[in-house]
Amino acid sequence: MFVRALSIIVSLAIAGEALAQAPPQAESVDSLLAMAPAPGVEALLISHANDVRVVQRWIGLLGDSNADLRLSAARALGVTNATSAAQQLVLTLATEQDPAVISELLRAIVVVAPDKDVAAIYAHLDRKGVDWPQTIEALAATRPGLVATHIRGAGALRAKSDAVGAAFARIARTQPAIASSIASAPEVTADATVLSGILQGATQAQRTLPASVVNAGLRHGFAERIQTLAYVAAVYGNPKAARSALGAVTLPSTPPGVPANEERWVRALEQRWLTGQNTERLTTLIATLPDARWSFRTPLTVLGVLSGDERKAYARRFALPDGMARMLHEAKLAAPIVTSPPPEPSMTLLTGMPGVMLAGVVRLTRCTPGAGDEQFAALQFRADGRPAAVGLAREPWSPGCERAAHAAVAMSYGPPPLRVTDHTNALVRLDAEFVACRVAQRVRPPAADGDGPWETVAPPTKLRNVPPVYPTDALNARKQGVVQVETHIEPTGCIGFARVARPVHPSLDAAAMRAVTRWQYTPTMLRGVPVPIIMTTTVSFSLQ
């Protein structure tokens, strides 16, 4: 799964279970416990989690009036699997109001609590009307049966199609039998929102669904019909393969309330992909589509069902900004379904740690990062996303920064892996600019509703470009190519997360990551509100 040739760049040693490779300690556990509670102190105490006094300290901090301390305690209890804190975590969640603390409490409960308490997460999310995709994906990784029960039944989160999609995608990759039981349940196809989530998840996981699900999607509303076609295109790759696999599909009658031009457009797409007919030119129909119905998400959904000329027509019709138009133009049809899960990236930017804890650690360790301190760590994760084994680069770090790096890794959850034996290589940054970016994410402006027209979206503009440095070993080996990096740009405009989406060579991949993670953008504006956005960038290395 993961590329394992990173040793070409840096020599890494995978340590034993549960962070066995302990950081150099400047303070004993007693001296740390004697310090006043602070996010950085709690982060350094993570390496002493086997001391019962430490766990009791964190449990006590869950009731502190300082939200940063409650957040730090919840993170520490989760990453150290403090099962004795499960009850208190659940009780704290019932009254917590701070969104960042709620997120940490949820992640900790997913790790440490029994099923009956974890089920309270669903009720809480439903009551608050909040969707935490990372928590749901972690749940699907560790408790797929529990998640499946709620998706099939009348439990909470049935109104959260994105959460259902993330959960089903994870289950489809790791628990195919459970995924089949979800997809075949009649109550799933009867609920439009849940059905949309199942279609999203199957599209992400490249998993075939029963033909009955496709028929059900076509019988629901306009959005579900588009989602159904996007699923068909992504999984089967071309109309001929889709028709061969699905057999005869009955197209629905025209539903009431849908404008005639929109109905003609989606019907033409259905005929192309499901019946083999092409009665109308889509480029002509696109020109008739009204502005009001086309949201920020819709073009991303229909990419797979439009040809190149049709995408150009779409971009012209809605006067899309250059970046959005280029994305539409360059997008490729999804590959046909594969029998094994797609490979996960071998390199990511380590960003799982809370900003207030990272900033505190850097101060306490007196870490003053130098040019050589931007190094990779080899991480192996448990199924719940907690780090199981860690190895830092053997190259020397500046004073204090090795301890800070150990603490940063120890306080970070990772993406729940598809196989617990997989490991990834995370770029560890401790510089002041990156720390400031993490702290700025502590309080985010409310996200705007994504149902406005495309004209209200102002895509980000790059403010700072850091060119990559061509690695000497890659030059000597005559290696070249284009590295594709997926970046998550925060509302502040800084890079909040990055991963190598299409690797070329370990040295080139690492050089691309080091450059891209220092880029900075203007905030992405949606209806005048800064919002996070995901963008895919490319970094070219050419010997000429």
CA atoms within a 13 Å half-sphere pointing along the CA-CB vector of 155: 17
Residue 536: give its domain's CATH number: 3.30.2420.10
Cα dihedral: 407, 410, 411, 412 (round 10): 120
477: its two tokens? 């080996």
* Structural domain containing residue 391: 1-15+344-443
Is 387 inside any structural domain?
yes
Is 107 inside any structural domain?
no
Is 174 inside any structural domain?
no
Is 336 inside any structural domain?
no
Q: Do 422 and 453 lie in a common domain?
A: no
CA atoms within a 13 Å half-sphere pointing along the CA-CB vector of 398: 14
Q: Do 439 and 424 lie in a common domain?
A: yes
Look at residues 243, 214, 240 and name the one whose alpha carbon lies nearest to residue 227.
214
CB neighbours of residue 503 within 10 Å? 21
Is 465 inside any structural domain?
yes
Burial class (CB in 10 A: 0-12, 13-18, 19+), 169: buried
CA atoms within a 13 Å half-sphere pointing along the CA-CB vector of 191: 22
Domain boundary, last residue among 414, 443, 472? 443
Q: Do 437 and 464 lie in a common domain?
A: no
C-alpha of 539 from chain center:
21
Is 49 inside any structural domain?
no
Q: Do 369 and 456 lie in a common domain?
A: no
Q: Do 372 and 424 lie in a common domain?
A: yes
Domain boundary, last residue among 443, 461, 478? 443
Is 511 inside any structural domain?
yes
pLDDT digits (tens), the chain, 544 positions: 222 222 222 222 222 223 333 444 567 899 999 999 999 999 999 999 999 999 999 999 999 999 999 999 999 999 999 999 999 999 998 899 998 898 899 889 888 888 888 877 766 666 666 555 666 777 787 888 888 887 887 554 455 777 788 888 888 888 889 999 988 888 888 888 888 889 988 888 888 999 989 999 888 887 788 888 888 888 888 888 888 888 888 887 776 777 777 788 788 888 888 887 776 777 777 777 766 444 444 455 565 677 777 777 777 776 665 555 555 555 544 433 333 444 455 788 988 889 999 999 999 999 998 877 888 888 877 777 777 777 787 778 888 898 899 899 889 887 666 665 567 788 999 998 899 888 887 655 444 444 444 445 666 889 999 999 999 999 999 999 999 898 888 888 999 889 898 888 989 999 999 999 999 999 888 777 888 887 888 899 998 7
Q: How far apart are CA 87 and CA 526, in angstroms?
A: 40
List of E strands, 441-491 = 457-458, 462-464, 481-489
Helix-helix angle 115-128:133-142, to 10 degrees: 160
Strands 347-349 and 423-428: parallel
Q: Do 421 and 489 lie in a common domain?
A: no
Tally the domains of the chain: 2
List of E strands, 32-129 = none
Contact (Cβ atoms closer than 8 angstroms) between residue 163 and residue 197: yes
Contact (Cβ atoms closer than 8 angstroms) between residue 25 and residue 406: no
Q: Do 425 and 483 lie in a common domain?
A: no
Given its phi and psi angles, is residue 503 left (phi above 0), alpha (psi -120 to 50 degrees) or beta? beta
Q: Any idea which residue has 């005929």 for tokens?
A: 271
Q: Do 410 and 456 lie in a common domain?
A: no
Is 280 inside any structural domain?
no
Q: Do 525 and 473 lie in a common domain?
A: yes
Q: Any idea which residue has 């980000």 for tokens?
A: 460
Q: Do 422 and 478 lie in a common domain?
A: no
Q: Do 448 and 542 lie in a common domain?
A: yes
Look at residues 506, 544, 384, 467 and name the one whose alpha carbon lies nearest to residue 10.
506
Q: What is the DSSP letter of 430?
A: -
How many residues can be counted in the chain?
A: 544
Domain boundary, last residue among 443, 467, 487? 443
Burial class (CB in 10 A: 0-12, 13-18, 19+), 452: middle
Q: Do 449 and 544 lie in a common domain?
A: yes
DSSP, residue by residue, 166-229: HHHHHHHHH-HHHHHHHHT-HHHHH-HHHHHHHHHHHHHHT----HHHHHHHHHS-HHHHHHHH
